[in-house]
Structure 1
């Protein structure tokens, strides 16, 4: 049997527990440690999956080869930098960090140290993404909706970094071209950060994506619509079903017989299991991660562009706010 990769999870919260579970089950890994500043929580997860509990990631540097980082986003950079400097391979939950500059620093550092740096954009490891990418080539227009009811978890960041970034990364992967322009609107509803947002992303290839995310909706929905030459797909990511149409002839002469209706069921797979398995395989084989530091940095860069556009829009709105009972233009504020 090949030598197992010694692993640890830093952050024993909601996602951290799932990472620990997958390491404990994967034959290529041995879960050695679970780290959490909350000693009781870390111990509980560690005991559940047969590992040892610690309160500081520095305590496990000489015991592990690879680490999943599942701490709050503002802590990603410091934890990842220290682990990579120590020569550890890192799987870091999305977003890679809280700023593009920090993302670029740890990406370069991982290259210098020869460490695998993989970013946990889980949708790219899903069966849904695989099926969509196999069935749509050179998309011309994309629409995505990712909406959910309010939860306290994840509110340390805005809805762009919390939810929308999943679709940003997935769409960048499907389009395969640099982003040229972003126009966005958004606002806070339940928090002081944006809780709902819509962005129009234009790519250098000519493709355009309209992306909506909300964490203040009354229902949960994850949907992607993709339009390409002679092809249309409507993908319900929550129900794992894809409906679509393909043009296989000339509808002007053949009528409806030229249009083929498609129905594709997305296989039931554990996306995080795929993600962890891919990370371990990259460590063993030296392969480049499917979502590496550069991909994570690009998704974060586009997210930052969206936030900048939202800020500009809000300033414009505030410029038309009522002042002393009368509406004023931005020039008068």
Structure 2
């Protein structure tokens, strides 16, 4: 057996605990430490998975080869930067950072240092994405819906960076073409940041995606519909079902017999386990991550375009409100 990769997790909250669990279970890795400024939480997670607790990520430098960064998004850049500068391979949770500029800088630093930088866009490691990627060819139109009940976790960023970015990254990967234009609307509902958003994304290939995300709902739903030449697919990511139709003949001459109904079973897999195993594989074999820094930067760039479009829309709405209020008072 090859030597195990010394691993650690920085941030032992909701996602960080899952990362620690998978490093502890993966035979390629040896979980050395878990790090959190909340000392009680760090100790609890460390004890659960047989690792050492630490309270400052700088204390593990020189002792580990690979680290998952699972702290809130505003802390991603500084922590990942220091780890990469120390020669540590980094898996940073999505989004890569909270600005395109810092994401670009982090990607360039990892390339200069020769370290693996993988971004935790977990849907790319799901069986559903792998199945869709094997079916879809030259897509024309996407519709995606990702809605969830309100939770306190994740509200340090807006719904675009919290939820919608999953579908942004999936669709970018499936289309394989640069984004040329974005039009979006959105609004805060329960929080101070945008909680509901809808975006129309246009790609240079001509493909268009209509993407909706909300964290103000009574239910959790993750659905995607894909239209291509002679092909339609409906994917329920939550229920792991893909169904659709494919044209096999001329419906004008043979009628409904020309339309073949299809169903595709999505295997039950742990996407985070796949993600972490892929990260460790890149370290062991010197290969490029499926979702590298550049992919993380592109997803963040598109998300930023969406937020800029939403900001412009909200300013127009506020301007009309102010004008109406002024007229009424006059």
Q: Could you tell me how far apart the structure 2 residues matched to 1:226 and 1:167 are?
A: 12
Q: Deviations over 1:89-142 (max 9, x none)?
A: 000000000000000001000001000000000000000000011111110000
Aligned to 1:113: 113
Unaligned runs of 5+ in 2: none
Aligned to 1:204: 204
Q: Could you tell me how far apart the structure 2 residues matched to 1:48 and 1:322 are?
A: 56
Residue 327 of structure 1, CA deviation: 5.7
Q: Could you tell me how far apart the structure 2 residues matched to 1:133 and 1:230 are?
A: 17
Cα 1:324–1:198 shift into 2, 3 Å: closer
Q: Could you tell me how far apart the structure 1 residues matched to 2:192 and 2:35 are?
A: 30
Aligned to 2:288: 288
Q: Could you tell me how far apart the structure 1 residues matched to 2:324 and 2:92 are?
A: 49
* Counterpart check, 1:216 vs 2:245: no
> Secondary structure at 2:139's aligned position in 1?
coil
Q: Could you tell me how far apart the structure 2 residues matched to 1:45 and 1:150 are?
A: 26
> Secondary structure at 1:321's aligned position in 2?
helix
Pairwise CA RMSD: 1.0
User: Residues 140-289 of structure 1 correspond to what in structure 2 (within 5 A)?
Assistant: 140-289=140-289
Q: Could you tell me how far apart the structure 1 residues matched to 2:223 and 2:212 are?
A: 10
Give the count of matched residue pairs: 328
Aligned to 1:48: 48
Q: Which runs of 4+ in 1 moved over 3 A?
A: 322-328
Q: Could you tell me how far apart the structure 2 residues matched to 1:13 and 1:186 are?
A: 28
* Counterpart check, 1:83 vs 2:73: no
TM-score under structure 1 length normalisation: 0.97
Q: Deviations over 1:230-286 (max 9, x none)?
A: 000000000000110000000000100000001112100000000000000000001
Aligned to 1:93: 93
Q: Could you tell me how far apart the structure 2 residues matched to 1:97 and 1:207 are?
A: 27
Unaligned runs of 5+ in 1: 329-333
Q: Could you tell me how far apart the structure 2 residues matched to 1:156 and 1:120 are?
A: 18
Q: Deviations over 1:173-214 (max 9, x none)?
A: 000000000000000001111000000000000000000000
Residue 323 of structure 1, CA deviation: 4.9
